[in-house]
A = this chain, B = another copy of it.
């Protein structure tokens, strides 16, 4: 067998093994969240050897970020209805998250790490994610304004930051007090002044 083929096969196997580890990490995080300050302690928690993790991920932060990125790639709906409003899109995302509290915990850990200088990779990931989410929401709000559903004097970017913030914050409160806080009911109050197409 020519050397090139062998190398390609080994490369492919490496990709597969990395993916297996990510899949396993996501399953484990979904069940019990993440509580580990080092790659070693995360490895202990999810039952993957430190050597295996080290081979595919350069740090705890990289493993956590890649696991969350892969999770989002999976749950991202292929096609969003164009008429779906900004608030409704966040409410649907919150509905999906209800079944995977561990990944809401992981998101919360990433966000909290992102605020600290010692986690530049996480900071860049979370900062870029917020920026993308705000862009998408602002575009939906601007659409609602063009259609005359949403007051024209609302700044779409200020409203987008508000909707993203409310959704994140409500999910945290719900995890702590599921009997008291209802994410969708509270978000529906926002829908009253940022109505989507269906409510228009």
Contact = CB atoms under 8 A, between A and B. Distances in A.
> How many copies of this protein are present in the complex?
2
Interface of A: 32-35, 37, 104-105, 108-109, 111-112, 114-119, 123, 126-127, 130-131, 134, 154-155, 157-159, 161-162, 164-170, 172-173, 175-177, 180-182, 185-187, 189-190, 192-193
B123 A176 contact: yes
Contacts of A190: 162
A34 B181 CA distance: 29
A159 B189 contact: yes
A189 B153 CA distance: 10
For the complex, would chain A's binding face be called helix, strand, loop or mixed by DSSP majority? Answer: helix
Nearest to A175: B115
Given A37-B37, A126-B176, A166-B166, 9 more contacts: A33-B116, A108-B112, A127-B177, A130-B177, A131-B177, A161-B181, A161-B182, A165-B165, A165-B173
Nearest to A188: B158
Contacts of A111: 108, 112, 172
A193 B180 CA distance: 23
A162 B175 contact: no
A112 B114 contact: no
Given A105-B116, A111-B108, A173 B161 contact: yes
A116 B35 CA distance: 7
Nearest to A160: B186
